[in-house]
Structure 1
Amino acid sequence: MKKIPTYTDTKSDVAGIESVLDDRELSSKNIVMKKFNLFALLISSFLIFSCGGDGDDDAGPSGSGTMSAKISGTVSTNFSASGSLGGQNLVTAQLNSPVLSIVGNDGGSPTTNQINIAIGAYDGPGTYEFGITTGNTATFSQTTVDVSNPTDFENLSFTALSGSVEVSENGDSYEGTFTFSAQGNDETTVEVTEGSFNASPAEM
């Protein structure tokens, strides 16, 4: 007697395989995104410090710029940036008209703190408000690297929702004070108060 082939329902098997593939795809995406974030962080640091300094590799307080502020909330620290690292000033100002950018990085390790201020339409000394619709932005970020595995790091970033910066000019340098309230992911927040800076334009 000729046997009639039988077929079993493979829907559950297919669903199981798809689930495994989805998990593997998600894991791969997470790895790729983590590497991309590290690459973006390195590129950002290179762009910030590729200007300024005279190529001197000595790390020391030779930079003339300063920036300080008190940070409270999800992150609590007394931010202070000055001097240079690897011949690059840790506090710089750059006017790419009409945008004035002021950056301070404390050069810490394994935890680095950074404040970025950007005035979208700088037209001279005065007070500029921060906010989503103002065209002026300020951010505070903190990056902690695992020293045993430098590709593993944690980055916290907070963007100003309100606040202001007051800028004055002293020759070729920019001086000022700032304060802002900022929010990060998952509704984490920081308050940046008593901020001040004195920064000279970076020399290319």
Structure 2
Amino acid sequence: MSVGFASFRLGIAELAILGLVAPTQCDDLPEWSVEDMAVFRQAADLVLCNGENVPWPFRNGQDALTEARQVVENMESGWWPQVDVSGGLDDQGIIPVHDLTLPALWGAECLLARMAHRNLLASVPAVQAVELFIDRANDRLEALQACQREGRVADDVPSLEDACEDLSDALAEAGPVFMVWPYAKPEPA
């Protein structure tokens, strides 16, 4: 039997999963409850199964990401904004989308904390790439929050794809990256 390693690219979905499994705790807000963490875990499972483009629930239905967003909004209004983009056959309609900026930001903060725990220096390119991703994610989150406040679609908000690619490249250059996700077993019907 032979053993091999697969190449791994860290993407928005992977950072969001990490962030949903280990959400950021804010000093000025209460701690996440066990129930909150269960909702976040279900949302992480949904992202694990669907990737970063989780479809919006049909006809205003609920899914785990919608519920996770509501938990966050109940904690601090406006923290995880509702994001609408142009869409439809002629791009004249407005379509709600699941935006993973906030949980991806949480994932990057968790990753940075783990790197600090391993005593990596700030000069290490991987640490710098995580810090740059966090800065860009914060900028994107602020832009999305402004779109929600002003009732605008988020078509012109810069993507995190380039920052995520740079982060993934820097991590790969630093050494092997192992990401282990728990097996997502479907709930019995």
TM-score (norm 1): 0.23
RCO (CA 8 Å, sep 6+): is it higher in 1 or 2?
Answer: 2
Q: Which has the larger radius of gyration?
A: 1
**Structure with the larger helix share:** 2
